[in-house]
Amino acid sequence: MTGPSGGLPPLTLQINVAAVDVPYAKYNVPHLARAHRAAAREIILTIDRCKPQKTKQTDPAVRCKEPEFSRQLDELEALGASLVADRLVDRILVLRSDDPWLAGVTRKYSGSWLPETHDYGGRPITGYWAGIEAAKTRYVIHYDGDMFLHQEPGFDWAVHAIPLMNRQEKAITATPRLTAPYASRIPYGDYGSAHEVMAMLPVEGGWKQHFFSTRAFVVDRDKLDRHLPLARGRMLVEQLAVKMLRRGFPRSAEKMMWFTTGREGGYRLILSSENAWLLHPIWKPDDYAAWVPAIIECVEQNRVPHDQLGKTELQLKVWQQFLSTMAHTTDVGLPPRPSQ
């Protein structure tokens, strides 16, 4: 696990959580922190206490109803304290809407015309920028607090990615495979996923894609700084237009990132290494958190139901069936992959 000069690269791990993550954060955050504890100089848990502004889609009085909202965030701060005590996390960063530092981060990344902390759907904007800005290293790994990661022992996907990014001037971010490797199991050939909408082109170490996802990435801050603020030029015109028309303002952090950096040639590198891959849960019913520990255990062991292969979104019903029958079936997981 070495960097381009033979030692570990200057790397920070940053994980975002919000009130909605309370039911499963106690499982996913340690899962992600353990994966990078050996490589990261510092692990930061970012707790977002900012409420979204009111839009046509989001009413903070309903979505962030008090006192439940504050109680959930207090639970996350208590979780953070316990993870610090266990040395899985080094620092807790609590975001508050009245913090002058956070306002400065927003101006730096979004621009002076966009002080909002969330997009039109109530998803964070400033929370992502703050996690990057708070780091003391050039490279920052980010995860949303609900992500699942498979990573082979002794391998760190971000450490693997950084030399590749350094050889590709326009690679601003990198990410592991978006799904479990599936080329040998389903007839789609090898690609980032079996259902990818945005174009991907082969480059050294994987594929390049001008779309940017905030779910999981490692970013080169030196490269990103060249494109700041992200809401400028045509992106700023679009933001101001939808604000005036009251249609989807403000645009998401993802759109600001890929629209601005992509137009200027920047891209994310999606790694082809089969030693690490991601899953993202999009559907979380009331009993979702109860399934998380078993899913983490299987993902860490590289055991995946066949109907999950090629899909970036966690197929919860498929997993429920898989976990219910796994004890009675021998041929259910992916075969072990050789080290790369």
pLDDT digits 0-9 by tens, 100-146? 999 999 999 888 777 788 876 778 888 999 999 999 999 999 999 99
Is 339 part of a structural domain of the chain? no
pLDDT at residue 309 greater than cutoff 70: yes
Task: Characterize the bridge pairing of strands 267-271 and 171-175.
Answer: parallel
Give 4's contacts (C-beta < 8 A, 6+ positions apart): 162, 163, 166
Note the Cα 143 to chain centre separation in Å: 3
Query: What is the token pair recorded at 157?
Result: 């996907």
* CA 35 to each of CA 131, 146, 172, 263: distance values in angstroms, whole numbers, following the listed order: 18, 14, 22, 33
Is 2 part of a structural domain of the chain? no
Condensed to tens digits (0 to 9), the pLDDT of residues 44-63 reads 999 999 998 787 777 888 88
Is 336 part of a structural domain of the chain? no
pLDDT-derived band at 184, boundaries 50, 70, 90:
low
Domain harbouring 38, CATH code? 3.90.550.10
* Total structural domains within the chain: 1
The CA-to-CA distance between both ends of the chain, in Å, stands at 12
Percent pLDDT > 70 in the chain is: 83
| Total Cβ atoms within 10 A of residue 165 | 24
Percent pLDDT > 90 in the chain is: 61
Give the pLDDT confidence score for residue 336 in this predicted structure.
Answer: 41
Is 333 part of a structural domain of the chain? no
Boundaries of domain holding 20:
11-328
Is 1 part of a structural domain of the chain? no
- For residues 315 and 331, the model is more confident at 315
| Total Cβ atoms within 10 A of residue 2 | 13
Tokens 């979702």 identify what position? 288
Is 340 part of a structural domain of the chain? no
Is 3 part of a structural domain of the chain? no
Task: Characterize the bridge pairing of strands 276-279 and 91-95.
Answer: unpaired
Condensed to tens digits (0 to 9), the pLDDT of residues 220-258 reads 999 999 999 987 766 666 666 666 656 656 667 877 787
Is 59 part of a structural domain of the chain? yes
